[in-house]
């Protein structure tokens, strides 16, 4: 379907440009270019804008999602507990999260249980920094992101 839409956009753009060029050339050769509906200098920005718009639309039609794009809604359905999903979402968006931040949001017990559950699944790993831990993506989560 995308191929047909892109082909149609390119064909319409080419035909419109060809017609406008013919119309302007005919008006110039007949000496009636001053009586044209649109002055010749307006054709340049109009078709420039149409060409850029068509090009951007075709580019968007054929754009493949970047490797870093993750469907967060689909990932959220994998977790039963809100705090686990919060940790993974923070890792996906920011790259790391402090365990103290998770504790402030959900309480120490819930945060500790969520971190332990995710660590047991190899989704996260912790590194001690001062009196708290920084939570980073573990091997299993990194392999899912590739």
Tell me the pLDDT tens digit for each residue of 72-94.
677 677 777 888 888 888 888 88
Do the Cβ atoms of 50 and 13 come closer than 8 Å? yes
Q: How many other CB atoms sit within 10 Å of the CB of residue 83?
A: 21
Contacts 24+ apart (CB under 8 A), 79-84: 81/110, 81/114, 81/117, 82/106, 83/110, 83/111, 83/113, 83/114, 84/114, 84/117, 84/118
Strands (E), the chain: 96-98, 124-129, 132-137
Each residue's pLDDT, cut to its tens digit, for the chain (146 residues) gives 667 777 777 778 778 777 777 777 787 788 776 666 666 667 767 777 777 777 777 777 777 655 556 666 776 777 778 888 888 888 888 889 999 999 999 999 999 999 998 888 888 999 999 888 999 988 887 777 66
Do the Cβ atoms of 87 and 102 come closer than 8 Å? yes
Q: Would you say the pTM of this structure is higher than 0.85?
A: no
Do the Cβ atoms of 125 and 119 come closer than 8 Å? yes
Do the Cβ atoms of 85 and 79 come closer than 8 Å? yes
């Amino acid at each position: 379907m995308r191929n047909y839409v892109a082909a149609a956009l390119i064909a319409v753009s080419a035909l419109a440009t060809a017609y406008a060029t013919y119309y302007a050339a005919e008006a110039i050769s007949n000496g009636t270019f001053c009586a044209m509906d649109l002055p010749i200098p307006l054709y340049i920005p109009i078709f420039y804008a149409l060409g850029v718009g068509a090009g951007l639309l075709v580019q968007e039609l054929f754009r493949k999602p970047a490797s870093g794009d993750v469907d967060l809604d689909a990932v959220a359905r994998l977790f039963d507990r809100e705090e686990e999903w919060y940790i993974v979402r923070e890792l996906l968006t920011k790259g790391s999260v402090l365990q103290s931040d998770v504790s402030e949001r959900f309480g120490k017990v819930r945060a500790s249980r969520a971190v332990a559950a995710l660590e047991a699944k190899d989704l996260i790993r912790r590194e001690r920094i001062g009196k708290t831990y920084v939570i980073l993506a573990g091997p299993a989560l990194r392999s899912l992101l590739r």
